[in-house]
Structures are given as C-alpha cells and as structure tokens.
A and B are shown apart, each in its own frame.
Chain A
Amino acid sequence: MNRVFRQLALLKRKNWIMTLAVIALTIIGVLFIYSASAASDDPRLRMLYKKQMIWLCPGLLAYISFSLIDYRSLRKLAWGGYLFCVALLVLVLFVGVEVNSAKRSIAIPGLRIQPSELAKIAVILLLARRLSRPGQNLGSVSSVFSVLALVAIPAVLIFVEPDLGTAMVFLPLMFIMMFASGVPYRVLGLLILAGMAIVALVLSIMFLPAKFDATDETQLAIMKAVGIGEYQRKRISVYLNPDSDPLYGGWNKRQSEIAIGSGGKFGKGFLEGTQNMLGYLPIYVAPTDFIFSVIAEEKGFLGSATILFLFAVIVVCGVMTALAAPDKLGRLLCVGVVAFIMSHALINIAMTVGLMPITGLPLPLLSYGGSFMVVTMATLGIVQSVHIRSKETGLTFEQGGLWQTG
C-alpha cells in the first residue's frame, strides 16, 4: 500500500499547466457538444454530451495511468502494439461496421473501437523507439525507408477503409518526428520534394484527364486504377471551387464558414448560434468534426482564440518537456504526441474555416468521440510521464516508476 501511495505522489510532479489546459478543453468540449446537439429531435443525439462525460472517466484514467507508467517501459511494448494495431486494421476491412460505405470501426458488444485511433499511438511509440536507437545513421537510405515503411503500412490500410483524413495525418507526424530525431536536413528536403511530387501526381490523375476532355468513365477508370475514389475527387474539387456544389459537397464547408464568420467578436451566445440551432450546420457533424464552428459561432473570436491558446499551451508544454527529457526516447515521445495533437488541431480548424479540404478529422479533446478521447488522453499521459521523470524533477532511474525496466 505504501508503495502505491509513493507512486501516486509522483503525480504532484507533473506539468500542472498542461493538465489545466487539457481539463479546460474537455469541459469546453462537453458544453459545446451539448449545444451542438441541443436542437436535435433525436433524444439519443441530445444525450451525446453525457456520453462524452462518461468517456472522460476512462480518458482521465488513461491520462493518470500513462503518466505513472515509466515511458521507458513502453519501449518493449512498441512492436507488439504496432503489430496488434496492424492486425486490427486488416481485420476492420473485413468485419468493420460499415457507415457511409466506409469501414472504420470494429464493434465489440458495448462499444465501438476505431483501430485507426489506436494506430496513431502505436506509430508514435514505434517511431520513437526506432528513431531513438543509438549509434545509427539516420540519414542512410535503409534507415529512411524503414521509417517510411513503418508509417506507410498502417497509413495505407487506413486509406483503403477509406479514411483519407486520418491516413494523411500520419505524414506530418512522421515528418516532425524525423526532424526532431536529427535526420539530416537534405533528407528532409528530399522528402518534402517527393511529397509534393506525389500530391501533384495525384491531383493530375484526378483532374487532368477531365481537362483534356476525357469522359467521366475514363476518368473514373484511371482513378480506380490508382485507388482513388470518386468522393475523394469530389471533396478536393469542392475545396478548390466551393460554389460548384453548394448544396451537397460544399454545404458543410460553406455553412461552417458562415457560422464562424457570423460569430463576430464575442459570438451569438451559448445555445444562441443560429447556424447551429437551426440546423444549417448539420447535426451529424456539428458535435464531431465541426465542434470548432459551433464554439466560434456562439463565442466569437474570443472563443476561437481561447481554443487556439489552449492548444498552443499544450504544444509549448510538450516541447518544453521534450527539451528537458532525460533521454532521446522521452524526447521523441513528447515530440510525437505534440505533433499528433497539433496536426489534428491545426488541420481540423483550418478545415472549418475553409483553409483546407474537408477531410473528416476530429478536434482533439473537444470533438465528440470516445476512443479518440481515450487515445488522446493516453498520449498526453505519456508526455506527463516524461515530464515527471525529467532532469528538473531530479528523479533517478531507480525511483522512476511502478514498473521498472531492466
């Protein structure tokens, strides 16, 4: 018993500023999930905020547990977790629950799990382990390609679900971790060039045949040959030209922009957002991918700036922790988590204000969604774990944790 209390005492050492930001965001999330679904006729939808509150419990549990576990012990689990996730990603393609012709989640009685969310944490772990291995030449071709392959396997599996947004978010995650681990700048530059070339190629496959008067059938056939779906092309074209399809593809984007813009400086007030309450912001996306639009409409620029500030606090705390981390593994874990949360936040918000195509990426800690919430809290717990064991706290390796590694 005594030992357990000693371990819990470690929690006092954690980064309280980041914890406050995390708790503030989750509370704001619950409030605006309530607002986003308050106008619904469907009582189940109106109960979403309660479900989110219930999900907060395992989320907080994960946050505390992962901060208590010594992050160094996670090194051992990295490969196992990664393979487990890849197996789940393969499984979901066969037994996944089909929603809107996409199979993204596995139903276990009582709850649904999205393996792609688990894959994010697994990839962070494995990349941190792989890139922190001492005495390797990170600039070597074999090293770079092995890293690329590790990321590509889950990303491609997620892409074919299909879930373009989640698959794409692995790219900034990988790039930032490679950058932080010390991969030479020239390699990073080449990667960027290669990435841009691939994007250009994909876009030209999507749009060039049509420009040269190819029929729709040929266009679709060409796209199918390289594995691009019609709806993905549509999303991109709606992003490039939103008025081309204002009622269908462009609707969410346009209504989200109107909601945010009409919010003004201080917003229309809680539960007073007309875009939200009158259903112009569709009820099935408002509590999830478009929660930021609801906040920005009802609380105005004050609300938007608050959200951005809280995410920036998490990012700054995470990087500060990385700077103080006792070893490279801890450093890379922090960077991975920060990259993961930051890319989600920036891409999601940029998408709601019309800066990026609508890709269906949730906003961490705010959007409704159980498994994503638990995964996010767990990754933030890892950052705390590193913080607790960082140099400033002066904790020795031996005192380091509940489960000690050899």
Chain B
Amino acid sequence: MQPVRLKAQLDDEHVRLRLFLIVSVALFVGLGGFIHNIQVHLEGKYAESERRQSIRRVRLPASRGRVLDRNGTVLAHDRPSYCIAIYIEELRRPRSSETFDAVEQVIDSIGDTLGIKRAITRSNIERHFKARRPIPLLAWKNIDDDVLARWAEHPAPWTGVDIVVESIRDNPLGSLSSHVIGYVGKTNDLSAPFDYFLPDVAGRQGIEAAFNDHLTGTNGWRILRVDVSGYTHNVEGEKVPIPGQDVVMTLDARIQAMAEAKLEGQRGACVVIDPQNGDVLAMATAPTFDLRTFRQASVYKSLREDKIGRPLVNRAIAGAYPPGSTFKPVVALAALINNVLTPDTQFLCTGTYRVGNRPIKCWLETGHGEIDMRKAIEQSCNSYFCELGMDCGYKRIYHVAEALGFGQKTNIDIAGESAGLLPDDAWKRRKTGAGWLGGDTANAAIGQGFLLATPIQMAVFAATVANGGYVYRPRLVARHRRGELINDMGWDSATIDIIQAGMKDVVQTHRGTAWRARIDGVTLAGKTGSAEYGPGNSKKYAWMLLYGPVESPRYAVSLIVEDGVSGGTTAAPLVRDLMEDIFDLDGTRKRPPPVEAQS
C-alpha cells in the first residue's frame, strides 16, 4: 500500500469525523432549541395542563343570614352541626378494597368507643371514594353534645379522623309562623366552576325563598392539589365564605304566638296588620306544622295526606273565602261616595228581600223594620244591603272593591298568594255563559255569590277603614318606616265617619253582632261575617274584621274560622281574646282583664 494512499484515506476519515462532529453538535443544539420552545415559550400552556389535572376547586357554602322578628327574636338561623369526618387519604392503602377495609375499621372503632351506631355503609364509602375522593367523608353528621363530649375525652386516637362543623338551618321556635318563614332545601346549582360542592341550601318557601338572595352569603372556595390517585395532597388556597345578611320581619313573635294560640284546634287564619303602614304583625294559619320535624318522612306524609286540614297551605294568603257580611261596608262606601243615598235614608226590612221572585232572607226573620245605614251595619241587615246594592248598581261596588284591593294579589312579600275573586259581567259570561243579573248584585252586596277574598285582603280592608282610606301594601319586611301606599281612596270624613261609627256599634253596642268581641278599657270597631258553604249550605265560614283602638287604630285584624257557627258566635270571642292579649302586651290595658266580657 502506498503511503500517499494511506494519507489520502486518513484525510478523508478526518473530514468525515469533523462532519460527524458538526452534525452531532447541531443535533444537540437543535434538541436544545426544541426544549427551549417547550419550557420557555409554551410554559404557560403546559402549566395550565398541569394545573387542570391536579387542581380541584371545592365550593364552601356561606352561612345563611338569620330571620328575625321586629324585636330581634330569632325565627330561623344556621346552627353549627358537628360531624365526624374521615380523611381517606390518610388511611390509603395500595388497593382500594384495603382502603375501604381501613376506613370501615376506623369507623367501627369510633362507633364502639363513642357508643354510637354506624351511620354509613360500605357502599356509601365506595361511592364517596369514587365521586368525592379529595374531600373528607362524613361518617356521622349532626352528632349530639354527649357524643361530642365523649369525643373530647378521647384525644384523637385515630389517624385520619377529625370533627368538622357544618351548619344546618334551624328554627328555634319550631312551629311558630312556619308558613311565613318557610324552609330551605338543597340546591343543585352546579353552574359555578367547581369540581366539588359542599352541601348548600336555598329557600324553598316563605321568607326563606322570597329573601333568598339577601339571606344567601357569598360562597367561598378551597383549592386542593390532588395526586395521581385523586387523594388530596395539600391545600393550595382558600377563600373564606362571607355569611348572608339577616332579614328583620315586621312580624311580632309574641303577637304571632297569641294569634296561633287562638286558632289552635280550628281550621282558619288570622292576620294582624298595623293600619298606619301595612306592617304585618301576625299571620297565623291553622292547622300548622313544625319546621323542625316536618321533614321526617312519616310526618311529611301525614301532613300531605291531610286533605281537609291541609296544614302545609298558608290559608292567610292562599285561602280564598266568600267574605259574607264583612263585605257590606264596601257596598255602603260605594253608595255614599256615589251619592246614591244619604246615611239617613231608611229602608224597610221585612225579614225577606226579593230580587225578581227570588227571596233573600235577612238573618232576623222578623225583620229589622225601618233601618238606616249605621244601624244596618251594626245589625248586619241583609235586606238593607241588598236594596242598597241594587240601588247603587254593581259597577260602582266593583270599582270601590277593586280600589280596595279585592280580586288582586296584595303583593305581600311571600309567594303562594291567591288573588281571590272579584267577579264582573265578562267573568260570569266566561264562566257560566250567562250575563250578570240583579240577583248577582244582591248576592254580592251581602258578600255571597261568586265573590272570594283572602284573610290578608280582608285585613288590608279593615286597616283601610281604620286609617280613613289609605290602602297600604301589607308587608312582612319593611325597608322604610313609612308604609307603601298603594291607593288613597279620597274618602271625605262624613263618609268614613258613618262607616267607622257603624263598625264601632258592631262591637260596642248590645245589639251589635260582635258584642262578644268587646273588651273593657279599649274601644274597638269591627264587622262580622258568616258565609254559608258546603252541601245544603250547612256549614259557615265565620269571619271577623276588627280594628282598634278607634281613637288611633294600631291594629287591624281579620280572622276566619272554617266551619263555625257564625262570625259573632265563633270568630268574635277569639278576636276578643287576641285583642285582650295584645293590649295587655302593649300596655294599653293597665287593669287586669275582667273575668268575663259583658253579655
């Protein structure tokens, strides 16, 4: 072999080696450039992927505001409920079935030590493990104080176990004003960007529902980092929830309790309003239920199955009844402001009033004889009001009743209200096919026939008469001290005076239909009503409207008892008892109450 050839071959090999060196270094530089792109330019994208797979957001419910009465008595609040929680990640085993065994072992051991029965099954544990692994498993919820005390005596002998506090809605006064306060239910609001939702509630009925936004706080959150098996690794961040705001109601828990006591054992409703501003001081309905127990399946079932008592219905706003004679002052007002007659105009009552050939009986079969407006109100004379109604005409009655709020919802703060019914010609044609007749007008003039009104509407009417013609929206929550005026009736004093005088006589005279409602020391005014219903008109709704003291009315009351004898016999004594309690409470009546009202 020639040395020259060898030299040439060596040179060629060295060229190749240098080529190889350049390519190698280029490869390293190129790979470095690619990695630079990933780590420096695309870092955000990969960091986001990394967060997405390992970050879990847990919604922390905010505690709900309280519901208070006007004096600050708590009617609904969030009570701390102590739960025993298992942190599964601290009990983890390589295999999930072994983890379940470990969790069960701990639960059994806690149960034995604290003397409590196991509350969750293995399948509960498995379900929690599948769906909610990063958050603690609640083995017992709402444990009582004894158990809590025993827990405190055993300072954490178990790993992965702790007490956590949940809050549950509680009503310290139980059944008091259940229908008004209402209740809460679990929400299914899964719209927010969370992975796990700790139980949260929203109002379902009553104030809880109507003021839900106000009562609900701002949820907090907790950010967990989970490992590849889905267990919590650490807490990355937390925002403490902001509690909701309280709602102060116009209700007075003491008056509410009195009203509920009067209705005990009855089916009916009672509303007490402040005539100066529409504040609802009490809204009772009977039968009622206890907010603390009604969720229990058996209790709830019996409440639902009581088709006559229907305890879940708030009769005070949802019950639409024929108003009976309590409607008569509306007719009188319609006649007076339209100058159909003067208060002194007298009609003859023979005991029966005829419309065409249909007789309408007065409750006094012998008749009242010649009778004027004030007496007719005092005596609740049917013949007088039938004739007055016929003279006045239904249109005028309709307009006044409409202005007073009949046939419309009062827009009280809670849902479930009935509008009642203020019929007219068009309505009757739609419903029955026949037009409005004179007999319909006579019927309406004594509060019978198609007319329907709710106890809250009647209370608003009583308040309007009491304050001389201002229709206030009845309210359960007051934003301002001043009432929310819906309508100024514009009655002149001569008009309203005669109505007020008649209604005062109803209570204050011997002949008045509501003499049983009279109490010593306070002058009251009112109107009774008895509306027949049921098969053969055998049953009566017993109504009583009342306000007082007449000099400067502070209370306007409507009360109805389904299945009573008459307004004067059944409702008036109940209202009297209520007013006695109320005036004792507010100090109007300084003297001890007499043993029995004068008869």
Contact = CB atoms under 8 A, between A and B. Distances in A.
Nearest to A300: B39
A180 interface: yes
Interface stretch (B21-29, B340-348, B487-495): B21-29
Given A312-B28, A315-B24, A346-B27, A261 B43 contact: yes
A312 B30 CA distance: 12
Contact of B233 (A182, A264, A278): A278
B429 interface: no
Interface in A176-204: 176, 179-182
B13 A275 contact: no
Q: Tell me whether chain A's interface is mostly helix, strand or loop, or mixed.
A: helix
Given A261-B38, A304-B32, A331 B13 contact: yes
Contacts of B14: 323
A349 interface: yes
Nearest to B48: A262
A301 interface: yes
A127 to B, nearest CB: 15
Contacts of A57: none
B169 interface: no
A319 B47 CA distance: 39
A280 B54 contact: yes
Contact of B25 (A260, A304, A316): A316
Contact of B47 (A264, A278, A301, A322): A264
Interface in A304-333: 304-305, 308-309, 311-312, 315-316, 319, 322-323, 328, 331
Given A257-B46, A349-B31, A180 B25 contact: no
B228 A280 contact: yes
Contacts of B227: 278-280
B12 interface: yes
A305 B32 CA distance: 6
A134 interface: yes
Contact of A316 (B21, B53, B228): B21
A150 B47 CA distance: 47
Contact of B228 (A182, A279, A312, A315): A279
A296 interface: yes
B24 A182 contact: no
Contacts of B24: 312, 315-316, 319, 338, 342
A335 interface: yes
A180 B18 CA distance: 10
Contacts of A296: 35, 39
Given A274-B54, A279-B228, A346-B31, A179 B20 contact: yes
Contacts of B34: 353, 355
A305 B30 CA distance: 11
Given A315-B25, A350-B31, A260 B13 contact: no
B228 A274 contact: no
B35 A260 contact: yes
A398 interface: no
A79 B20 CA distance: 27
A224 interface: no
Nearest to B53: A280
Contacts of B39: 260-261, 263-265, 296, 300-301, 304
Given A264-B39, A304-B35, A353-B35, A180 B17 contact: yes
Contacts of B297: none
Contacts of A160: none
A41 interface: yes
Interface string A263-298: 111000000001100111010000000000000100
A274 B31 contact: no
Interface string A324-367: 00001001000100100010001001100101000000000000
Interface in A59-113: none
B45 interface: yes
B149 interface: no
A135 interface: yes
A261 B12 contact: no
B400 interface: no
A258 interface: yes
A195 B174 CA distance: 86
A350 B227 CA distance: 26
B8 to A, nearest CB: 10
A319 B20 contact: yes
A135 B27 contact: no
A308 B31 CA distance: 8
Contact of A179 (B16, B35, B45, B46): B16
Nearest to B36: A301
* Size category of the binding interface on chain A: 35 or more
Given A180-B16, A182-B9, A301-B39, A261 B28 contact: no
Nearest to B25: A312
Given A262-B49, A301-B35, A311 B28 contact: yes
A57 to B, nearest CB: 30
Given A182-B13, A331-B17, A261 B32 contact: no
A406 to B, nearest CB: 21
Contacts of A179: 16, 20
B198 interface: no
Contacts of B36: 301, 305
B565 interface: no
B46 A180 contact: no
Nearest to B92: A41
Chain B CB within 10 Å, residue with most, of A274, A275, A304, A349: A274
Contact of A328 (B13, B32, B43, B233): B13
B4 interface: no
B46 A278 contact: no
Interface in A363-388: none
Contact of B46 (A258, A282, A323): A258
B517 to A, nearest CB: 77
B103 to A, nearest CB: 17
B13 A180 contact: yes
B21 A319 contact: yes
B17 A323 contact: yes
A275 B94 CA distance: 20
A319 B17 contact: yes
B119 interface: no
A179 B18 CA distance: 12
Nearest to B32: A308
A135 B1 contact: yes
A296 B43 CA distance: 12
A336 B469 CA distance: 110
B20 A261 contact: no
Nearest to B45: A261
B54 A335 contact: no
A88 to B, nearest CB: 31
B46 A260 contact: yes
Contacts of B422: none
B229 interface: yes
Nearest to B12: A182
A155 to B, nearest CB: 22
B50 interface: yes
B226 interface: yes
Nearest to A261: B46
A181 B12 CA distance: 9
Interface string B212-231: 00000000000001111100
A280 B47 CA distance: 14
Contacts of A301: 35-36, 39-40
B27 A261 contact: no
Contacts of A280: 50, 53-54, 227-228
23 contacts: A176-B20, A180-B16, A180-B20, A181-B13, A182-B12, A182-B13, A182-B16, A258-B46, A258-B53, A262-B50, A264-B43, A274-B225, A278-B54, A278-B225, A279-B228, A280-B54, A308-B31, A312-B28, A315-B21, A322-B17, A323-B17, A338-B24, A346-B27
Given A135-B1, A261-B49, A353-B38, 5 more contacts: A260-B35, A262-B50, A280-B53, A280-B227, A319-B20
Nearest first, the 8 closest Cβ-Cβ pairs linking A and B are A261-B46, A279-B228, A278-B227, A301-B39, A262-B50, A264-B43, A312-B28, A319-B21
